């Protein structure tokens, strides 16, 4: 009985030991909103790692306890300050029913008599190249003391060229963004950089 139990434990432990032997680089993923840190993968990042980890990133292992690198990422809008006033103006006009006009991106015309290219309150919002949703990431080498940032990048996807807001629908700065944050793309880019840098 004891011998069978020992063989069973060795069989279970063997794959783990083998996997540990294949780890040349260990990493952890940490999200921050600027206030708190959350260790772990999002559902989409986990799907990416489960699908591609062993195949594309052989020798790189996810190890939150003792990583060599920490991939620190956050989501945000760049150029958001450029549209803060516009968002406030649009929402004020929609809530009061007053006419609101503004121009974003290329001039657009909502009627033949509107030759100035302004858009009325029932407007089509044109995403601006200045405003981008993105998942910024930094790779920290935590084998050094203090930890050093060795690479930075971002992950994003393009959004459709136009977003239509219906009358009364609230608007926020994301409506003006030409891209959206993609944490999975950020993770993938970070892993590719680690693989290339460590020549794995």
Cα separation, 47 vs 185, in Å, equals 12
Please state the pTM of the whole predicted model: 0.66
Tens-place pLDDT, residues 2-19: 444 333 333 333 343 334
Answer yes or no: is pLDDT of 29 > 80. yes
Q: Where are the domains of the chain?
A: 24-197
Ranked by mean pLDDT, the top range of 109-123, 124-138, 175-189 is: 175-189
Choose the most confident range, by mean pLDDT, from 169-173, 176-180, 185-189.
185-189
Q: Regarding predicted confidence, which is higher, 99 or 155?
A: 155
* 139-149 pLDDT per residue, tens: 999 998 899 99
Report how far apart, in Å, the C-alpha atoms of 164 and of each of 98, 124, 145, 168, 173 are: 19, 5, 50, 12, 14
d(CA 185, CA 176): 21
Helix ranges restricted to H, the chain: 2-22, 43-56, 84-96, 183-197
- Residue 76 has a pLDDT of 85
- Of the candidates 66, 74, 59, 75, the one whose C-alpha atom is nearest the C-alpha of residue 194 is 59
Q: Which backbone phi and psi does 75 adopt, to 5 degrees? A: -110, 145
The pLDDT value recorded for residue 171 is: 65
Give the C-alpha separation, 154 to 74, whole Å. 9
The secondary structure of residue 128, as a DSSP letter, is B
Q: What is the pLDDT of residue 10?
A: 33
Q: Are 125 and 176 in contact (CB under 8 A)?
A: yes
Percent of the chain with pLDDT over 70: 56
Please check whether residue 78 is in contact with residue 135, taking contact to mean a CB–CB distance below 8 angstroms: no
Residue 149 CA to residue 147 CA, distance in Å, equals 7
Question: For 79-117, what is each residue's pLDDT tens digit?
Answer: 655 455 555 655 665 566 554 444 444 444 444 444 444
More confident residue, 25 or 97: 25
């Amino acid at each position: 009985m004891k011998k069978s139990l020992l063989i069973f434990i060795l069989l279970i432990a063997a794959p783990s030991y083998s996997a540990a032997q294949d780890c040349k680089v260990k990493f952890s993923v940490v999200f921050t909103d600027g206030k708190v840190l959350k260790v772990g993968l999002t559902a989409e990042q986990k799907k990416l790692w489960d699908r591609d980890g062993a195949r594309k990133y052989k020798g790189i292992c996810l190890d939150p306890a003792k990583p060599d690198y920490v991939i620190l990422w956050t989501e945000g809008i760049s150029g958001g300050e450029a549209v803060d006033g516009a968002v406030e103006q649009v929402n004020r006009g929609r809530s009061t029913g007053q006419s609101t006009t503004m121009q974003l991106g290329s001039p657009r015309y909502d009627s033949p008599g509107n030759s100035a290219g302004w858009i009325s309150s029932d407007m089509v919002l044109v995403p601006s190249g200045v405003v981008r949703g993105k998942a910024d990431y930094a790779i920290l080498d935590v084998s050094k003391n203090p930890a050093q940032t060795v690479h930075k990048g971002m992950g994003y996807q393009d959004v459709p060229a136009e977003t239509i807001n219906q009358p009364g629908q609230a608007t926020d700065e994301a409506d003006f963004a030409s891209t959206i944050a993609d944490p999975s793309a950020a993770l993938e880019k970070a892993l590719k950089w680690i693989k290339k840098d460590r020549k794995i």
